Structure 1
Amino acid sequence: MGWLAGEVALITGGGSGIGRAVALRYLAEGADVAIVGRSAEQLQDVVRAAGELGGRVLTVPGDVRSPDDMHRAVEATVGRFGKLDILVPNAGIWDYHRSLTRLTGKEFSEAFDEIFAINVKGYLLAVEAAWRELVATRGSIVMTLSNASFHTDGGGVLYTASKHACLGLLRQFAYELAPSVRVNGVAVGGMRTQLRGPQSLGLQDRTLAASFARNEASGVEQPPLIPLYDSSVEPADFTGPYVLLASRTDSGTVTGAVIPADGGIAVRGFRSPAGGAGL
């Protein structure tokens, strides 16, 4: 019996990265899991990775920017498993540290629309589609946030703004859905994933995993992203807080809270104290 035995979870962006890792961890903790993503191939890979637990996975191809797709995902989840207990709004893209001084106004306008549509509107639409079912089960929401939800230099201006916006969503959701639904988040740090950039900036084929590989191949010593202990930066290492916050037994009194899983950025800071020193 795991921490989430008998629970049903729906995870957006569940085909890769932290969403995939959380899906596999939730399965191991006893939950049935529905995963949403734009790549049917990636979703099926999660089923294969789940092995003998793959029969407890529902794949729902869809786009988090579409309210119809989000409602269809919730309906499919309830149709398959009979209820919905846990929602994990997670799908997102990164801006690869594109700063104010590197883009034109036109580029910012187009990238803003794309990043905020996925990172912010996608969370809002997922919660709008799911809240009725979560009220019925007195369930919970566990949002993927970021070190960039609290601190600078975890991305460029657009990503940082989008993740700050998600923190605001979390707090407002926690207020509006109390006392029926708990709403919490995990502010993750950098990790080796297939997280991509915005198509509007030509970064749709760039991934964090490739960036990690290039840095490692350079032979230049890189500052550790998780400096408090010897650790990999694999998504599976970040899943514990998602389990804790979803657990009715262990977090039943917790809402409106965020667990930072970012290597202690608040106490150590980033490595660049002045971003505009060269202007």
Structure 2
Amino acid sequence: MTGWLEGRRALVVGAGSGIGRAVVDAFLGEGAQVAVLERDAAKCARLAEEIPGLPVVVGDATTRAANEEAVAAALGSLGGLDVLVSCVGVFDFYRGLGELDAERIDDAFAEMFAVNVKSQLHAVKAALPALRESGGSVVLTESTSAYYPGRGGVLYVSSKFAVRGLVTALAHELAPGIRVNGVAPGGTVGTDLRGLGSLGLESRSLGSAPGREAELAGRVPLRVALSGKDHAWSYVFLASDRSRGITGGVVHPDGGIAVKA
């Protein structure tokens, strides 16, 4: 038996930890060839050590240059590109508008939307010629926060609504040649999602919150605390031929929050 992604060539942006790293492992396990872009040099070194031969580019996904370098590395190593996945993100730790100092809004907004939205635009733009050539697909990372209130602060929630818009707009623009879909994970065990540096939260990781596993399981009908590995299978499905009739869609690995009483 072959894997779901046998013969596919993929670039995963934001691959150093959490969901992105789980996507790399799942894609490799399903037969794909993978290249990665990651900002954190230590995480890149760990990837290169644990997965010998993996093309790894160290760079800031919010920039055009880093995405173009990563696409070039993928093309040079893999010979083409069939799938682009973006898992880049930053969090605001539930800051409401009333908790945001007016003088910090400009910088916090710019950082949040650069990381959560602009990075994905740059990734798709850089990969577009190669994806057009292969008739490939794009999988962007949305969030439960883009569908239900209270799963993030005002900046995070609005940025993830923007990603919903990207999925819709790009799916329409790039059809029929390229499929574009999203995954909207719920809360995730083991994530290293960091806070905004502009709010002094860069050293704070969402995954290290005390009692997080019990809290996540307790707030959804399935009573499960999902990991990056759990979410990764949604990316596998959307990148595979099993979803060839789906574009502009979203998969919700969130424990059933939509049916919460």
Counterpart of 1:207? 205
Change in Cα spacing, 1:82 to 1:255, as seen in structure 2 (3 Å) is same
What is the percentage of aligned positions where both structures have the same residue?
Answer: 42
Helix, strand or coil for the counterpart of 2:4? coil
Partner of 1:224: 217
Q: TM-score, normalised by structure 2?
A: 0.94
Alignment of 1:108-257 (within 5 A): 108-192=105-189, 193-211=191-209, 214-215=210-211, 222=215, 224=217, 227-229=220-222, 231-248=224-241, 250-257=242-249
3-state secondary structure, aligned to 1:184: strand
Change (3 A) 1:223 1:128: closer
Matched, 1:264 2:256: yes
Q: Hey, what's the Cα distance between the residues in 2 that align with 1:49 and 1:88?
A: 20
1:27-64 CA-partner distances (Å, limit 9, x unpaired): 000111111111122123234444xxx33x21111111
Deviation at 1:222, TM superposition (A): 3.3
Mark the structure with the bigger radius of gyration.
1
Contact 2:224 2:255 in 1 (8 A): no
Structure 2, unpaired ranges of 5+? none
Q: Which residue of 2 aligns with 1:276?
A: none
CA contact (8 A) 1:185 1:259 kept: yes
The amino acid of 1:177's aligned partner reads L
- Is the 2:216–2:224 contact (alpha carbons within 8 Å) kept by the matching residues of 1? no
C-alpha RMSD over aligned residues: 1.7
Q: State the alpha-carbon separation in 2 of the partners of residues 143 and 165 from structure 1.
A: 11
Q: Distance between the aligned counterparts of 1:11 and 1:124, measured in 2?
A: 14
Aligned residues of 2:220 and 2:260 also touching (Cα < 8 A): no
Kindly indicate whether the alpha-carbon contact (under 8 Å) linking 1:38 and 1:63 is maintained by their aligned counterparts in 2. yes
Shift, 1:263, TM fit: 1.5
| Paired AA for residue 56 in structure 2 | T
Per-residue deviation, 1:229 = 3.4
User: 1-side partners of 2:218 and 2:142: how far apart?
Assistant: 16
SS at match of 1:200: helix
Distance 2:124 2:149 in 1: 27
> In the TM superposition, what is the alpha-carbon distance from 1:181 to its structure 2 partner?
0.3
Q: Does 1:19 align with 2:16?
A: no
Quote the Cα distance in structure 1 between the aligned partners of 2:163 and 2:148.
13
Classify the secondary structure of the residue corresponding to 1:188: coil
User: What amino acid is the match of 1:79?
Assistant: G
Structure 1 SS opposite 2:55: strand
Structure 1: segments with no counterpart, 5+ residues? 270-279
**CA 1:204–1:225: 2 relative to 1, 3 Å:** farther
The answer (yes or no) to whether the contact 2:221–2:259 under 8 Å persists in 1 is: no
TM-score by length of 1: 0.88
Alpha-carbon distance in 2 for matches of 1:254, 1:263: 22
Q: Is the 8 A contact 1:11 1:88 kept in 2?
A: yes
For residue 216 of structure 1, report the CA deviation from its aligned partner.
5.9
Aligned residues, how many?
259
Looking at structure 2, the residues matched to 134 and 229 of structure 1 have their Cα atoms a distance apart, in angstroms, of: 37
How far does residue 228 in structure 1 lie from its aligned partner after superposition? 3.7
Are the counterparts in 2 of residues 100 and 157 from structure 1 also a CA contact under 8 Å? yes
Change in CA separation of 1:117 and 1:216 when aligned onto 2, cut-off 3 Å = closer
Deviates more, 1:100-109 or 1:21-30: 100-109
Q: Name the SS of the counterpart of 1:116 in structure 2.
A: helix
The letter of the residue matching 2:163 is C
Q: What is the SS of the residue equivalent to 1:222? A: helix
Secondary structure at the residue paired with 1:142?
strand
Give, as a single letter, the amino acid of the residue that structure 1 aligns with 2:89: G
1:148 Cα shift?
1.2
- Partners of 1:195 and 1:91 in 2: CA distance: 9
Amino acid in structure 2 at the alignment position of 1:40: A
Distance 2:208 2:233 in 1: 25
